[in-house]
Amino acid sequence: MSLVQLINPPALYDPVPNGYSHVAAVDTGTHRLVLLSGQGGEDREGALQPDFATQLRQAMDNLGHALAAADATPADVARTLVLVVDHSEEKLHLLGAAFERFWGSGLKPACTLVPVPRLALDGMLIEIEATAVVRR
């Protein structure tokens, strides 16, 4: 029996044709490590809106769906990795506000933001990966 459970929530687009799963939950015995693939701004059908703010909102919604599928919450997230196409201070402020809405006014998870020239899909402007730990 595998310690790894792969999950593709129905609220997210089907990643199987692209060769991956949205969530990997690893049972350690006392905890579950929840590893989320990068969540972008695509909707359930895989469509992307053209602007950064809309994609960011969708990516945060997708992050919430992926966490819930593994019985995890935003409070369980230990770290994020954020990839941003054509990064700017304006985008950083939008990201900060989105994180504030998602995690509240307290401390946020550890985070690395990496400016990139392009992401996997044409028109994709942001991708957020997360690692969460859930007590069994």
Domain residue extents for the chain:
4-135
Q: How far is CA 83 from CA 5, 30, 33, 64, 86, in A?
A: 25, 31, 22, 18, 10
pLDDT tens track for 109-126: 999 999 999 999 999 999
For the record, the structure tokens of 95 come out as 């990201």
pLDDT tens track for 53-91: 999 999 999 999 999 999 999 999 999 999 999 999 999
pLDDT tops 80 at residue 8: yes
Task: Identify the pLDDT of residue 2.
Answer: 84
Q: What is the mean pLDDT of the chain?
A: 97
pTM, 2 dp: 0.95
Q: Give the right CATH number for 4-135 from 3.40.50.2000, 2.30.110.10, 3.40.50.2300, 3.30.1330.40.
A: 3.30.1330.40
